[in-house]
Structure formats: C-alpha cells, structure tokens
Amino acid sequence: MTYTLNDRPADSGLADRSTADLVKLAAEQVARLVRDELKLAQTELARKGKRAGMGIGMFGAAGIVALYGVAALLAAAIIGLAAVLPAWLSALLVGVVLLAIGAVLALVGRGQVKRATPPAPSETVRSVKADLDTITEAVKERGHR
C-alpha cells in the first residue's frame, strides 16, 4: 500500500507541528505501513500456495491414471515382442528402455530444479519499492521548503 503525505488537506497543520510530533507521526505511519505490507505479503503467498496445492493435486491424480495406462501399454509391448522373442527377453528389453528414459528425465528434471527461483511475493516487493520512492520524495520535498 502506498501512502503519501499529500493525502491530507493543505491546512492540516503539519508545518505547525514540532519535530517530535512529526517524528512520532512518521513512526506511526511507518509501523502501519510495515504491518500493511506484511499482511499483503501473507495474503499473496497464501493465494499462490492455494493455487499451487490445487495444481499439485491435479498433477498427482493425472500421474496415477497415466501410470495405469503406461502399465497396460508395457504389458502389450512385452506380449507383442514375445511373439518374436522369448518372453523373458521381451520383458528385459522393455525394462532397459524404460530405465534409460527414466534416467534422461531425471537429469533434465534436476537441471530444471537448479534453474528454478524461489517463489517471491512480487506484488508486495513492487509495493514496497513504491512506498520507499514515495517516502524519499516526501523527505526531499520537506527538505526544500
């Protein structure tokens, strides 16, 4: 959330306040700002976590269904090869091919995980930067009066 000192009417009396009052007011506003930013980050991370949880659950269900499909296809491949080769050799060939595919997928997956960045509350980061810019500008303006 972005707050500015200009949100108050011009006759609010900020110029007439003592330095101690202004410091107290600034401390209160900074404390409120920090609480609001933390609340925003918590809300944003909760929303992202909920979406990720739903997606992970759906991927899990899809994986289980796909596992049964792959098992049926593997059985068909072994039975098909058994028409030309002995059954044990057919099963061995299918197993070796599956292990090779699994190894390649594991290596590619490991590379993807290494390149992944941790999730961050991007909206909150952007909002905090805007708050800092606003505070910096307000301090500069106050110093030039």
* Helix H or strand E segment including 145: none
Separation between Cα atoms, residue 40 and residue 33, nearest integer Å: 10
**pLDDT tens, residue by residue, 26-57:** 889 988 998 998 998 899 888 888 888 888 88
**Model pLDDT for residues 83-132, shown as the tens digit of each residue:** 999 999 999 999 999 999 999 999 999 888 877 766 677 777 888 888 88
Alpha helices by DSSP H, 83-116: 87-115
114 CB neighbour count, 10 Å cutoff = 7
Q: Which range is least confidently modeled, 34-38, 75-79, 131-135?
A: 131-135
